[in-house]
Amino acid sequence: MAGQQDNSFLKRTPLYDFHVEAKAKMVPFAGYEMPVQYPLGVLKEHLHVREKAGIFDVSHMGQAFLIPADGDFKTGARALEKLAPGNFLALKPGRQRYSQLLNDKGGVLDDLMVTRLGMKGYEHCIYLVVNAACKEQDLALIEKAMPENVELKRMDDLALIALQGPKAVCVLASFAPEVEDMAFMSSLDIPVKHADGDLWMHVSRSGYTGEDGYELSINKSEAGKFWQMLQDHEDVEPIGLGARDSLRLEAGLCLYGHDIDENTSPVEANLVWSIGKRRRTDGGFPGADKVLAQLENGVQRQLVGIKPDGRTPAREGTKIFSPNGDEIGIVTSGGFGPSVGGPVAMGYVGVDFIKPGTKITLEVRGKPLPAHVQSLPFVAHNFYRKKK
């Protein structure tokens, strides 16, 4: 029928039926039919995550293992370091790092999470999570770069669920007490009790909202059981892509294809903290010459937080001007921040304008909108720091 969108080519996650049953609004996203919001609505979903806990279906993400045949973790870590600037060799069992795959110009091909497994007998294996829209090219790139004795094993039979919010620890610990005192960016492989038997999953204390929380990798055949267990908890609501985006924006977290891309370096994106200290001197990753030069000499532009002075949001692509009318940059992410109570944005400006409080002007629908540069994040991170 004319005017109707053909979604027959879209993939579905193993939790699709749960979203439909919950009356979620489904939209195309990265080749999948995904829930953008539930009847609660984006605003209330967002605030629920900030106050209690929300569950997100992120099973569209790419998951894989690097498995060195010689049983030596360093074999896989060294190979991966040829693609990304993280210090993976220093990873202890059960620890996780955020990094980026770079091109020869130091631009970001994608960002990813890298974990050294901690389960006994598997400490030599590396677990990877890459973005859904880039996963085919990411995994092909990684596989091609591996030596013959390192296998890239795609895990298309795994689902991925994020549980985020200040109540996330109480929710998950009610099923698996071991998670209560996990450190931020650590992982465990554990069973969760269920009436039908133990559900085994890989748990990392991490996420994309700025809140405390976990990401849970579980077999597709068991994902529905676990999703239902979480959804039945009084503090939990299912959360869609709309609130996921506003949460990460308030937290100042980059979105690939928007705030970072193949023409953006980690230095320009304020991701220097993700470049291993050893790598900042030794290099050995794509585009190292450019990245190391930027570390030493600085950059011409940088990602900043932007706060419009009024109530009108500035969307991606909005031009940024100096007070005297010179074009100085562009907005890469923008929208309404429910926890902030007003519009927020991120974008790139020339380095003369990166100081918090600097006045700028945004061109919104052809009209000048006063704004100022603001430190990121807009909402303080609530990541769990393990007590010593």
Residues 6+ apart with CB under 8 A from 192: 175, 176, 198, 199, 200, 201, 226, 229
Torsion over CA: 54, 217, 23, 210 (sign): positive
Task: Label residue 25 left, alpha or beta by phi (over 0 means left) and psi (-120 to 50 means alpha).
Answer: beta
- Domains identified in the chain and CATH numbers: 16-61+157-250 (3.30.1360.120), 300-388 (2.40.30.110)
Q: How far is the C-alpha of 97 from the C-alpha of 185, rounded, in Å?
A: 7
Which two tokens mark 201?
A: 């999953």
Each of the 388 residues of the chain gets a pLDDT tens digit; together they read 344 455 668 999 999 999 999 999 999 999 999 999 999 999 999 999 999 999 999 999 999 999 999 999 999 999 999 999 999 999 999 999 999 999 999 999 999 999 999 999 999 999 999 999 999 999 999 999 999 999 999 999 999 999 999 999 999 999 999 999 999 999 999 998 787 778 899 999 999 999 999 999 999 999 999 999 999 999 999 999 999 999 999 999 999 999 999 999 999 999 999 999 999 999 999 999 999 999 999 999 999 999 999 999 999 999 999 999 999 999 999 999 999 999 999 999 999 999 999 999 999 999 999 999 999 999 999 999 876 5
Single-letter amino acid, residue 218: I
